[in-house]
Structure 1
Amino acid sequence: MRAAVSAMFLMNGFVVGSWAPLVPELAQQHGLSESALGLLILTLGLGSILIMPVSGALIARIGALPVLRVTCILCSLALLPVALAPGVPVLVGVLFVFGGIIGSMDIAMNANAVVVEKRLRKAIMSSCHGFWSLGGLIGAAAGGVLIDRFGSGMQVALVSAIALVIALSFVTRLAPDLPLAADAKPRFRLTLAPMPYVVGLVALFSMVPEGAILDWGALYLRQDLGADVTYSGLAFGAVAATMAVMRFAGDAVRRKFGAVTTMRYSAIVAAVGLLLAATASGPTMAIAGFALSGIGIANLVPVALSAAGNLPGLQPGVGISIATSMGYSGILMAPALIGFIAEYQSFSVAFMGLAALFIVVLGLSPVARHADLNEAAETPFAGG
C-alpha cells in the first residue's frame, strides 16, 4: 500500500512537472504577454480552488480511495487537451478542468497517505512527496527536450501514455480507507476551530513560491536570463531534484529533530535560495538558487499536510481539504499577480517578494507539532 500511494504521487508530479516547459510554448503559440499568460494560468488555480471543496465533501462521504481511483486516471490524460487546444477560449476551459483534476487528486492522495501513516504508525508523508518531486523532475527535465525535438503534441502524448500505465498498474493496490468510529458522521463541514486554518496558512505560503517557480521559472530563465528552451526547463527541474532528495530524507529528519525544528530551518533555507535566484546574473546562478530553495521547500508542505491530517477531532480528509484548498488559493492568486509584477517591474522583484513569505512560515512553525506521530500509539479510528 505504501508503494501504491507513492506511485500516485510520482505520477501526479510527472504530469505537473511536464506542464512547466509547456507554459512558454503556450505563450508563443497563442501570442500571450506575461500578464495575459498570468490570467490564463489563473484559471488553473480557479479550477483547483472551486472543485477541491467538492472533492473534500466526496472524500468525507465515501472515502479517499474511490476519489483517488477516478482522479488518477483523469490526471494521466489531463495534459492532452491543454496542448491541443485550438484557441484561448478553449484553453481557458481545459486549464480550469486540468486544475480541478490535479487539485482533487492532490487531496485524495494526501488523505490516502495519512491512512497509510496511521496503518504503519510511522511517518511516510515526506517520502511520498519525494516521489512527487521525482516525478516533477522527470517531467520538467524531459519535457523541454521532447518539446525541442518533437513538439508539444508528441510531448503530452508520451506523458499521458506513461502516466496512464503508472495509474493502471497501482490503482488496485491502494490502501483502503480506515473505518470511522461508530459515532463519527461521514460528512464534510467547515470547522470553526482555528488550527486547520493556521496550518492552511503555512501550506499557502509554502505552496505559492513552489507554484511560482513551476509557472514562471522557465519563462524567467528564457526571457530575463537568456536560457534556451531545453535549459529553461531546469528551473523547476532543479527545484524538483533537490526537493526529491530532501523529501526522501525528510521522514527520518522529522523523526530525529521533530516537525517544528524541521519546518523552522526549512523556511530559512527556502528564503535564502529564492533570494539567490531573484538576484542571479545568469541562468546557472538562478538554477542554483532555485535548487537551494527546493531544499528548504521540500518538507514544508508534507509536514503541514501531515499536521492537517492529524489534527485532533477532524477526519484526515477534512483537515487536508482545508489546508490544501488554502494552499491552492495562493496558486489561484499568485500567477496573475506575478505576471503583472514581471511585466511592470521584473521577475526578480516578484521572486524577492515571494521569499518574504517564508518568514511568515518561520513564525507559524509551532503548528507543525501535530505532525509528530507517536508511532507506538493506537490509531484513533475504530477497527484500525
Structure 2
Amino acid sequence: MPATTPSNAASPAALEALTPRRLNSAAWALRIQFFVAGALFATWGVHVPTVKAHYGIGEQALAIAMLASGVGALIALSQAGRVIARFGPRLVAGAMGLCCAGAVSLLLTPGVYLGLVLILALFGATASLFDVAINAEATEIEHLSARPLMSGFHAMFSLGGMIGAGVGSALPLLGWTPATHLLVALGVAVLMVLGACAAMLKMRAGSEEKQPMSLPRGVLALIGTLAALGLIAEGAMYDWSVLFMKQERGSTASVSALGYASFSLAMALGRFGGDWVRARVAPIPLMTASGLLAAVGMALALLVPFEQAGLLGFALVGLGLSNVVPVLFSAAAKVPGVSAAHGIAAVSSLGYLGMMAGPPLIGMVAEHSSLTWGLASVVVFALFMALSASRALGGTRAPGA
C-alpha cells in the first residue's frame, strides 16, 4: 500500500488554470495511476512462485532478492523530495511508471540469480518514486477539492491489486505462459500510464528540496512504528500470500493467485468506504478494531489447513488493514508542535521502511522454519497495533471535532 507524502511543488498559484471539470479529470487520471501501481505490485506478487521455480532458489535467496528491492526503494526515497521538486509529479510519475512496468516485465528474462537481484532493485527504486509522485499530486488534488479523497485514491491501488491478481489467476487456465502475461502487462501498463499522464495536473516544478530528512521522536515515532508494522503486514500479503497458498496449502496456481486477490478486494472495499467510516468512528476504536480483525484473519489463514480458510483469512487481513494508513497519517498531521507536512513525511518514511524490509525478514524466518511461522509475525504486529492504539492516538481528535 502506497505511503502518502506532502506535495513538494504544490500551491494553487503554481498550478494551471483550473475548472471543476479539469480538476475532476485530473483526479480520475490519478486514480488510473494508483490502479496501475497496484496492478504492477500484484503482477509481481502472483509470480513469486514462478520466479522461485525459474531460478531454482529457496526462501532465503528469494528473501535476499526482495531485500534488494527494499534497498533500491530506500535509496530512491532519500532523493524523492529533490527529484519531484525539480521535475514535478507528472513527469516523475510518467517516467517511473514506465520503468516500473519494464522491470516487472523482465522478471523471468535473465538466467542468473544476480540478474533477478538487479531487476528487483530497479523495481523497488522505480515503484517507490512512482508512488511518491502520485501521492504528492493526490495531496494537492485533495486540498484543491476541499473534501476527503485520499482513501478513494488508495482504494484504486487495492482495486488494481485485486484485478491484477485475478488476471494472474485466470490466465493459466487459458493456457497463457507467465512470460506472455508479463509482456501483455507491460503493454497495458504503458498505455495506461501515458494516457493518465496526459490528464494529470501541470504542477510547476520548483527548486530542489534541501531540507534533510529527520527521524521522528516521541509520539510521532510510535505512530510511525505502527505504520511500519501495518505496512509489514500489507507487504507480507503482496510478497508471500500466493506462495503460502501454493506451498503450504498445495493449491493450484489459479487458486493461489486468489489468495492475493481476496486480500486486495477486501482492502479495496474497506478503502472505498474508508472516508465514510472515519467520519463516524473515532480513531482509537477504529485502529483497535482494525488490528484485532487483521490478527484474527491471519490466525485463521495459518491455523486452519483448508484453502477456503486461507482465502477468507486473507480477506479479513485486507479489511482490517484497509484504514490503518489513513488513520495513522491523519494522527501524524495533528501531533502538537509538529507541522502536518513534517509529521506525515516522518511517518511515511518509517512506514515505507517496514513495507520494504519486512517481507524479506519473513522470508528468512521461513527458510529456517516455515512460511507459516514467518507469517505468524503478522498476527503479533497486528495485535501490537491494536494494543498501542490508545497511546499513539490519545491526542487525536475525532472526525469533525
Q: Report the TM-score, using the length of structure 2 for normalisation.
A: 0.84
Are residues 1:247 and 2:278 paired?
Answer: no
Instruction: Tell me the residue number matched to 1:132.
Output: 157
Instruction: Tell me the residue number matched to 1:202.
Output: 226
After superposition, the C-alpha distances for 1:156-210 in whole angstroms (9 at most, x for unaligned) are 1111111112111211322355999xxx995332246535544322221111111
Query: CA separation in 1, counterparts of 2:353 and 2:308?
Result: 31
Instruction: Tell me the residue number matched to 2:190.
Output: 164
- The runs of 5 or more residues in structure 1 that have no matched partner are 376-384
The answer to whether the 8 A contact 1:342-1:350 is kept is: yes
Instruction: Tell me the residue number matched to 1:71.
Output: 96
After superposition, the C-alpha distances for 1:35-80 in whole angstroms (9 at most, x for unaligned) are 1111111111111112111113323555544432332232333311
- The runs of 5 or more residues in structure 2 that have no matched partner are 1-25
Query: CA separation in 1, counterparts of 2:72 and 2:215?
Result: 25
**Of 301, 304, 323, the match for 2:347:** 323
1:6-85 matches, cutoff 5 A:
6-60=31-85, 63-85=88-110
Instruction: Tell me the residue number matched to 2:180.
Output: 154
Shift in Å at residue 334 of structure 1? 2.4
Q: Which amino acid aligns with 1:190?
A: M
The answer to whether the 8 A contact 1:270-1:297 is kept is: yes
Query: CA separation in 2, counterparts of 1:257 and 1:219?
Result: 36
Instruction: Tell me the residue number matched to 1:2.
Output: 27
The answer to whether the 8 A contact 2:84-2:205 is kept is: no
Considering only aligned residues, what root-mean-square deviation do their CA atoms show, in Å?
A: 2.8
Instruction: Tell me the residue number matched to 2:129.
Output: 104
Instruction: Tell me the residue number matched to 1:141.
Output: 166
Instruction: Tell me the residue number matched to 1:354.
Output: 378
The answer to whether the 8 A contact 2:36-2:189 is kept is: yes
Query: CA separation in 1, counterparts of 2:136 and 2:144?
Result: 13
**Of 274, 293, 297, the match for 1:273:** 297
Q: Cα–Cα, structure 1 residues 354 and 232, in superposed 2: closer, same or farther, change >3 Å?
A: same
The answer to whether the 8 A contact 1:307-1:368 is kept is: no
Shift in Å at residue 15 of structure 1? 0.6
The answer to which of 161-170 and 339-348 deviates more is: 339-348
The answer to whether the 8 A contact 1:55-1:67 is kept is: no
Q: Cα–Cα, structure 1 residues 253 and 341, in superposed 2: closer, same or farther, change >3 Å?
A: same
Q: Cα–Cα, structure 1 residues 288 and 89, in superposed 2: closer, same or farther, change >3 Å?
A: same
Q: Which amino acid aligns with 2:183?
A: A
Instruction: Tell me the residue number matched to 1:231.
Output: 255
Instruction: Tell me the residue number matched to 1:378.
Output: none
**Of 207, 211, 236, the match for 2:235:** 211
Q: Report the TM-score, using the length of structure 1 for normalisation.
A: 0.87
Q: Cα–Cα, structure 1 residues 176 and 188, in superposed 2: closer, same or farther, change >3 Å?
A: farther
Query: CA separation in 2, counterparts of 1:146 and 1:371?
Result: 47
Are residues 1:173 and 2:196 paired?
Answer: no
Query: CA separation in 2, counterparts of 1:175 and 1:343?
Result: 46
Are residues 1:91 and 2:116 paired?
Answer: yes
Q: Cα–Cα, structure 1 residues 192 and 203, in superposed 2: closer, same or farther, change >3 Å?
A: closer
Query: CA separation in 2, counterparts of 1:204 and 1:123?
Result: 23
SS of 1:122's equivalent in the other structure is: coil
The answer to whether the 8 A contact 2:245-2:307 is kept is: yes
Q: Cα–Cα, structure 1 residues 220 and 368, in superposed 2: closer, same or farther, change >3 Å?
A: farther
Query: CA separation in 2, counterparts of 1:244 and 1:233?
Result: 17
After superposition, the C-alpha distances for 1:271-317 in whole angstroms (9 at most, x for unaligned) are 1111111112112111110111111011112333455567776474x
Query: CA separation in 2, counterparts of 1:62 and 1:368?
Result: 39
Query: CA separation in 1, counterparts of 2:202 and 2:290?
Result: 32
Q: Which amino acid aligns with 1:109?
A: I
Q: Cα–Cα, structure 1 residues 53 and 173, in superposed 2: closer, same or farther, change >3 Å?
A: same
The answer to which of 192-201 and 307-316 deviates more is: 307-316
